[in-house]
Amino acid sequence: MKTDKQIYTLLGADPDFLRVLTDGIAVRGPYLFEALDVKGLERRTDGVLIPRAQDEDIWVMEFQAQSDPLIYHRLLLEMALVGERHPQRVVRGFVLFAEAALDPCTEPWHGLMTRDHQPPLRRAYLPEVLKRLAREVPDHPLLGVFLPYLEADLERLRRQAPTVYRQLQATALPEASRRHCVEVFQSWLNTRAGRGIRPVRKVLGGATSPGSHAGLG
């Protein structure tokens, strides 16, 4: 299931979401989370975290859902080119792997991440992040957002989706963060709808509000 866009949306939506999904990366104040066209690589870097405070580090972030033995090398290149744009700032890198098995454990970076308490590169594994979140904060809204992504049983997803949808609409978050949660949930549910739970409107039923089906079904 295509997830890159939704993951980057959540990383940029809320500082708490950022901290949770990156296993601890935090910013003190406002930040930009944007995509940059990196001319030196002739490619687009989808996740660049730029805190407004000049003394805070910039983070180049990647979500990796496919096998790529060169992911760390590519991330280092992106960091260097972002650093050229911001020569007065420290630039660090982060990879969120969809599964631990996708991590190529490239040295010397893998060893450095295990030894250094503040390494230039960091990584996390999404299943571990969400399992820990479920233990520590079982009512966290991100767990609801990820339901269509995680729940393999389509019938169980069909039963749970309306309740989770209502909870996300009512969750105590800033309006923009809540809207992003609902949009990502709908997007993933819509993707799953193409795999056996169509139509989405019937899945959500009376839980939806006018206009909330945009892009669904």
Owning domain of residue 54: 1-137
Q: Indicate the number of domains in the chain.
A: 2
Q: Mean pLDDT, the chain, as a whole number?
A: 87
Residues 129 and 143 in one domain: no
Residues 105 and 207 in one domain: no
Residues 133 and 58 in one domain: yes
Residues 95 and 197 in one domain: no
pLDDT at 25 over 50: yes
Residues 105 and 185 in one domain: no
Residues 130 and 212 in one domain: no
Residue of 148, 173, 172 whose CA lies nearest to 160: 148
Instruction: Say if pTM beats, i.e. exceeds, 0.85.
Output: yes
Residues 77 and 14 in one domain: yes
Separation in Å, CA 14 to CA 17, 34, 175: 5, 13, 11
Residues 160 and 197 in one domain: yes
Could you give phi then psi for residue 64, rounded to 5 degrees? Answer: -115, 110
Residues 148 and 131 in one domain: no
Residues 86 and 185 in one domain: no
Confidence (pLDDT) at 61: 96
Angle ∠(163,202,151) on CA atoms, nearest 5: 50
Q: Of 137, 156, 172, which residue is a domain's last?
A: 137
| Residues in the chain, total | 217
pLDDT digits 0-9 by tens, 76-120: 999 998 998 899 999 999 999 999 999 999 999 888 888 888 889
Residues 102 and 191 in one domain: no
Q: Of 137, 167, 202, which residue is a domain's last?
A: 137
